[in-house]
Structure 1
Amino acid sequence: MSNDWREGRPAAGGNPLLNRFAPMAAAAMLYPARRAGNGALKLIPGHVPLPDFVADLGGISPVLGRIGSLEVRLATTRKQIKQAQRLRYRVFYEEMSAVPNPAARLARRDMDGFDAICDHLLVIDNGEAGGVEKRKPKVVGTYRLLRQEVAERHAGFYTASEFDIAPLLARHRGKRFLELGRSCVLKEYRTKRTVELLWQGIWNYVRHHRIDAMFGCASLEGVDAEKLALPLSFLYHFAAPPGDWAVQALPSCRVDMNRMAKEAVDPKKALHALPPLIKGYLRLGASFGGEAVVDRQFGTTDVLVLLPVSVISKRYVNHFAGGGEV
């Protein structure tokens, strides 16, 4: 998942959307990563890169939705994942303020050890449907999806690099969790239609895998918490999770979200200051953990999004399942 679209790193405001990760090195493309007790990432040797053939999708169709010339689908080849990584690099590092490491700069791809174990949701523009000017298909949006059973077999969740999610998972043992991350959309495609298509894809994925709850990091542009006092305080006072869904940030990068008294928060102004991504999550019924995290490499302040499937209104469920406008 900065500001607009951040979810993956940069983007809020006109930005990408939830998780990303400081790429680790060229080898990180080939191996998932594991976090040591000191927070450092270690590559897990012996992991085989994704093959250049259709992956085993467990019975789910790669194509999860269409609107006009746009199609949302799961990546099934290494080439498609590289296209998603190039899009992330373009948005996070060229448009936004993230600073690439040498490996990412050389490859011009945003990449990390989690890419090899995640499913990658892509929005593809197939050109004028049936028109004379048929353009070459291109990836214009992406989201990274990590199911709990996959995370537990490999490196865990990316979100664990910022938030202490272990107690949350323990309290809800038996529920199926899905991590959403590293979302971004090409600037000229940042429209309601593209966002709806992404969520149509996510919803079909959630239904197929019988997911109970989604979570991930969403970003506010900037690392000065005082300048973000209004939106952070709004989320703290008006979008706090129930007690059994509360999550603490890791002490090394924790930021207090309760920076203004509830009476001093102007909800209208606060909503205006929030990235579109976070506003979209709020509309769906998401809550936000009571602590934030500063990510200086990406120049963002991250909050934890918590979205149990049960809280999504029937109106949106029907819409994502193929209904009309919402």
Structure 2
Amino acid sequence: MHTVMPDCDTRPNAGGALIAARTADAVASGAPLGRIGNLEVRLARNEAEIAAAQEVRYRVFYDELGARKDLFQAQDRRDADRFDPLCDHLLVLDTSLPGPEHRRIVGTYRLLRQEIATAAGGFYSEGEFELTKLVARHPGHRFLELGRSCVLKEYRSKRTIEALWQGIWAYINHYNIGVMTGCASFHGIVPAAHAEALTYLAHHCRTDSAWDVRAVAGRYCSMDLMPIEAVNAKAAIAAMPPLVKGYLRVGARIGDGCVIDHEFSTVDVFVVMPVKEIGARYVNYYGGEGQRFAA
């Protein structure tokens, strides 16, 4: 997962049956899940909107952040992979913009539910972290993987983030999601460049044993990169990407180890958010809108 505020897998696609089952769902029809001013959040309604979301991702991940592109990506100017047909695509649209709706998309999140991932051969983030083991330890919870989060530069504001969270909250209520997971990214491929922030996460923000997730063998990099007594907490938090800080605010915890993603030029950490552990003030803040739109 590669995220701005901003995710090497070769397993075969799951096929049309899963896609048909997903798109037949009422929520996937694209009714609004939240609104803040001229910003509306909902799921993509058609292939044109998914393609437009992929174009937004390309502008952020490739044009802005310098991810490595192949020939087809460079020609299409879209960030796309085999998981896109399996996912719901959460969109933020600026309804004040002219033109067709798919040209009003200013932000997006990719959502992959456990039942779809299981039938398709796994989650995206399993290429980096041992998510399957975590899921197996919690058979009573339904998992949701969040990924490919990005917002166009001119829309990176509190309002846009709140709109996305309205949509996520409506979605997890509708599908009775128990745990949200996914990767969050630090820019660049040198963990030591983020030593203070990563060390702080390793010592103060780790999951407990029940929710622990480790980076996969062969890709594990330690986050404990400097003496903890040398870490300035305020500086460490300030150095974290906004998305990481946002997840921590709502009660998320971080898994064991980080992974270097050379394709996207990022250092990825794993985020675990049991819904019941989300801070009460955030539940109250987003819950009213989320419950209303999820009904």
Q: TM-score, normalised by structure 2?
A: 0.91
Task: Read off the aligned partner of 1:91 and give its amino acid letter.
Answer: V
Whole-angstrom CA distance in 1 between matches of 2:171 and 2:3: 24
Matched residue SS, 2:218: helix
For 2:2, the equivalent position in structure 1 comes to 9
| 1:213 is the counterpart of 2:182 | no
Q: Deviations over 1:223-250 (max 9, x none)?
A: 1121111111010001010111111111
Bigger fraction of residues in helix: 2
How far, CA to CA, are the matches of 2:210 and 2:287 in structure 1? Answer: 29
Shift of 1:260: 1.9
Q: Cα deviations across residues 99-118 of structure 1 (Å, max 9, x unaligned)?
A: 11112111110000000010
5 Å-filtered alignment, 1:230-309, equals 230-309=196-275
Query: Does the 8 Å contact 2:93/2:105 carry over to 1?
Result: yes
**1:47 deviation in Å?**
3.7
After TM superposition, the score normalised by the length of structure 1 is: 0.83
The root-mean-square deviation of aligned C-alpha atoms, in Å, is: 2.0
User: Unpaired runs of 5+ in structure 2?
Assistant: 290-295
Selected match of 2:45 from 72, 76, 85: 76
Check whether the contact 1:50–1:77 (CA below 8 A) recurs between aligned residues.
Answer: no
- Given candidates 161, 164, 167, the residue that maps to 2:127 is 161
- Taking only the aligned residue pairs, the percentage that are identical comes to 47
Which of 78, 91, 105 in structure 2 is aligned with 1:139? 105
Contact 2:179 2:274 in 1 (8 A): yes
Q: Residue 316 of structure 1 aligns to a residue in which SS?
A: helix
Q: Which of these residues, 81, 93, 113, is aligned with residue 112 of structure 1?
A: 81
Change beyond 3 A, Cα 1:57–1:321:
same
> What is the distance in 2 between the residues matched to 1:116 and 1:84?
13
Give the direction of change, closer, same or farther, for the CA distance of 1:184–1:63 in structure 2 (3 Å limit): same
- SS of the aligned residue for 1:144 comes to strand
Q: 1:59 to 1:256 in 2, by over 3 A?
A: closer
Q: Is the 8 A contact 1:10 1:298 kept in 2?
A: no
Count of residue correspondences: 285
The reply on whether 1:56 has 2:49 as its aligned counterpart is no
- Once the two structures are superposed, what CA deviation does each residue of 1:226-278 show, in whole Å capped at 9, x if it has no partner? 11111110100010101111111112221101112322211100011001100
Distance in 1 of aligned mates of 2:272 and 2:15: 33
* In 2, Cα distance between equivalents of 1:278 and 1:242: 18
AA partner of residue 146 (structure 2):
L
- 2:162, 2:90 → 1: CA distance? 13
Q: Quick check: 2:214–2:257 contact (8 Å CA) kept in 1?
A: yes
Paired with 1:241 and 1:126, the residues of 2 have a C-alpha distance of 39
Q: Is the 8 A contact 1:62 1:73 kept in 2?
A: yes
The CA distance in 2 between the partners of 1:213 and 1:198, in whole Å, is 17
DSSP-derived class of the 1:163 partner: coil
* Deviates most, 100-109 or 78-87: 100-109
Whole-Å separation in 2 of the counterparts to 1:266 and 1:59: 44
Partners of 1:319 and 1:44 in 2: CA distance: 38
Question: C-alpha offsets along residues 197-245 of structure 1, whole Å, 9 cap, x if unaligned?
Answer: 0001000000010000100000001111211111110100010101111
Pairwise CA distance, 1:76: 1.5
Q: Structure 1 residue runs of 4+, over 6 Å off?
A: 48-51
Q: Does 1:171 align with 2:137?
A: yes
1:222 aligned to which of 178, 185, 188: 188
- Report which of the two has the higher share of strand: 1
Letter in 1 for 2:31: P
SS at match of 1:254: coil
Q: What stretches of structure 1 of length at least 5 have no aligned partner?
A: 1-7, 23-39, 129-133
- In 2 relative to 1, CA 175–46 (structure 1 residues): closer, same or farther, beyond 3 Å? closer
